[in-house]
A and B are shown apart, each in its own frame.
Chain A
Amino acid sequence: MSFPNPPKAIKLVLLGEAAVGKSSLVLRFVSNDFQENKEPTIGAAFLTQKCTIGDKTIKYEIWDTAGQERFASLAPMYYRNAQAALVVYDITKPASFLKARHWVKELHEQASKDIIIALVGNKYDLVEDSNDELRKVSVEEGKKLAEEEDLLFFETSAKTSFNVNEVFIGIGSKIPDNSPVTETRPENGARIDLSSQPAQKSNSSCC
């Protein structure tokens, strides 16, 4: 019998054009919920969710953009030490796919070099039921970009929850078991905890 290791915390960031469904994907993953036409969630842009894959437990620290992508005003802090990223586009919006290429490039420049990136074409529900005229970005285009840039690739629907958990499980299984915490983050010298209250609420597990 062995004690489980404390779950490894993985900083995961979301990138993509406004309104492609980033916040909705997080809401689906964390709360298994979806809200049509909802206002941007106020006060909830940092969520945690545990995810168990085999005998490994990962605690995702999910950073949403808080709308700062709207006028291209994301701060360097956002990318810093991110170990995983979802680059999201809307499969009914070709411009959002162009934007996705831009975000992948930005991540290669700004984030740690071993970051795991998943390319996510969202709003799959809109093209289901052979309602194909709404689809503007083909599966092949998505796959091709993913192959070129060495990304995971999924098409999802935050609305129906199609493939959403698979994204996070897919990323989780690519996280090396004993990955040293990212390159730039020195472990020497104690970091201090300014807010000395115990921070986290009780655990939960998923996956």
Chain B
Amino acid sequence: MDEEYDVIVLGTGLTECILSGLLSVEGKKVLHIDKQDFYGGESASLNLSQLYSKFKPSGQKPELKGRDRDWCVDLIPKFLMSNGELTNILVHTDVTRYIEFKQIGGSYVYRNGRIAKVPSNEMEAVRSSLMGIFEKRRMKGFLEFIANYDEDVKSTHQGLDLDTNTMNEVYNYWRLENGTKDFIGHAMALWPNDDYLNEPARQTYERIVLYVQSVAKYGKSPYIYPLYGLGELPQGFARLSAIYGGTYMLDTPIDEVLYEDGKFAGVITKEGKAKAPIVIADPTYFPEKVKKTGQRVIRAMCIMDHPIPNTNDLDSLQLIIPQNQVGRKHDIYIACLSDVHCVVPKGYYLAIISTIIETDTPHVELEPAFKLLGPRIDTLMGIAELYEPQQDGSKDGIYISKTYDASSHFESMTDDVKDLYFRVMGKPLVLKKRPNAEEEEGLNGL
């Protein structure tokens, strides 16, 4: 298959698949290759045997019910914000036709040794067990300020300027306690550490708005999740790309990368030579062109036969342990799922813990989370080094994505998608509703 393409994409992780889909829809001729024999790369969901061969190749596998494929365990645990950018992309590309979503049952935060629901509006703040009576009133005032803030109406600014005042100054204006700052900053704005406190308040404001609007959309939590696991997302975008003419080759290692005058020119695989002036790839395809970010993430997949204690037996939830609460510098995230999202057989629960490593004994760092989970049937752990490209790709035509980070949602991943899109296409990504070519219903009777 000696052929010419506009773009070659290497790796079928979510970032690459979204880009592949978007570029195909725009009429680019795309060749998409993965060295592995399944879709998703690092953002795949693994079945039971894949999971154990990756994380415990020689270990004992416990007796577990269900078929192999009744298990869909995400390698990178994340949820979609229901008003976030990934949702937006899914809707605009109609990839929602291939994937069904359900809400995540709740959003919880750990505070003072207890687990409590994160209040998402003024009403919930007033009922919340997180705060005392006076603090509730202050929190209510703060949330009303966020809800009513209008750029053009000075009277809603309360004398604050989101671009010059730090977030800490905004908190202090509302006289919020440190513990309240903790759950606003970490469980609503979803900051992984406290650096944001001394930065202009604008970004935190926007993050809180995203959280509040996401909760308002479906009610129970700001999060949604695809049935059968996150691995459905790259598959859905790959299908989009294929429908618009993208060519897919799994299980196809790259034998050689071709260069002309120091620029990318194509690849050689078992299927032959494929040429293109541009390549988009995940970091594993160009190890010599990426660098470590310095951060490493530990993730623990815990198989359980019960929900997380003290969470009203919810079928799914996010639980955040803010760094301050357990003497750390980075938050610990727990994503809990069950058969309701078709990722485990009935009767099982899956809790995936993740955090950025701070010590030489990372598994010990997860102890505060393990304590909250109760008994576990088995625990599988993995450590991931985070990589990013050394260069922006303009010189050699090689555009490399970032490793998926430790954050609990997809907002940083979609930032990377938009950034790559801009670098590759030389124009910002503008999402257009795609024409409904697929929707043709047959009109003629038989």
* Interface of A toward B, CB cutoff 8 Å: 29-32, 40, 42-51, 66-68, 70-73, 75-78, 80, 110, 165, 184-186, 188-192, 194-195, 199-207
Contacts and interface: CB of A to CB of B under 8 A. Distances in A.
A112 to B, nearest CB: 11
Contacts of A50: 441-442
B380 interface: no
A184 B444 CA distance: 34
A129 B319 CA distance: 70
Contact of A195 (B96, B218, B340, B438): B96
Contacts of A185: 227, 342
> Which of A46, A48, A110, A201 has the most CB atoms of chain B within a 10 A radius of its CB?
A46
A2 to B, nearest CB: 23
Nearest to A161: B446
Interface string B322-347: 00000000000000000110100000
A75 B239 contact: yes
B238 A75 contact: yes
Interface of B: 39, 69-70, 82, 87, 90-91, 94, 96-103, 218, 224, 227-228, 232, 235-236, 238-239, 242-245, 247-252, 271, 315, 339-340, 342, 434-435, 437-446
Contacts of B435: 43
A43 B236 CA distance: 14
7 contacts: A30-B441, A47-B438, A71-B247, A76-B69, A76-B235, A194-B224, A204-B445
A72 B339 contact: no
A89 B300 CA distance: 46
Contacts of B249: 71, 73
A65 B234 CA distance: 16
A43 B439 contact: no
B440 A80 contact: no
A32 B224 CA distance: 40
B414 to A, nearest CB: 15
Contact of B440 (A31, A77, A78, A188): A31
A125 B82 CA distance: 51
A184 to B, nearest CB: 7
Nearest to B250: A73
Given A75-B39, A189-B102, A192-B224, A66 B242 contact: yes
A44 B224 CA distance: 28
A71 B235 contact: no
Contacts of B315: 189
A200 B90 CA distance: 18
A191 B103 CA distance: 8
Contact of A71 (B243, B248, B437): B248
Contacts of B39: 75-76
Given A31-B440, A191-B101, 10 more contacts: A73-B248, A186-B339, A190-B102, A191-B100, A192-B218, A192-B224, A194-B87, A194-B224, A195-B94, A199-B439
Given A75-B39, A75-B238, A80-B228, A201 B342 contact: no
Contacts of A110: 69
Nearest to B444: A32
A205 B271 CA distance: 44
A42 B244 contact: yes
A72 B251 contact: yes
A110 B228 CA distance: 14
A202 B441 CA distance: 8
Contacts of A78: 239
B252 to A, nearest CB: 7
A115 to B, nearest CB: 14
B440 A30 contact: yes
Q: Which 5 A-B residue pairs are closest in the complex by CB-CB distance?
A: A43-B437, A66-B242, A30-B442, A75-B235, A73-B248
A207 B91 CA distance: 33
A163 to B, nearest CB: 12
Nearest to B99: A77
B83 to A, nearest CB: 11
A200 B441 contact: yes
A184 B70 CA distance: 8
Contact of A191 (B98, B102, B235, B444): B102
Contacts of B242: 45, 66-68
Nearest to B233: A77
A15 B39 CA distance: 19
A83 B97 CA distance: 17
Contact of A207 (B100, B101, B445): B445
Contacts of A75: 39, 235, 238-239
A55 B118 CA distance: 51
B102 A192 contact: yes
Contacts of A76: 39, 69, 235
A170 to B, nearest CB: 13
B96 A194 contact: yes
B245 A40 contact: yes
A50 B244 CA distance: 25
A140 to B, nearest CB: 29
A64 to B, nearest CB: 8
Contacts of B437: 42-44
Contacts of B271: 71
Contacts of A68: 238-239, 242, 248
> Which of A42, A73, A165, A185 has the most CB atoms of chain B within a 10 A radius of its CB?
A73
B442 A67 contact: no
A30 B101 CA distance: 28
B219 to A, nearest CB: 10
B308 to A, nearest CB: 18
Contacts of A32: 442, 444, 446
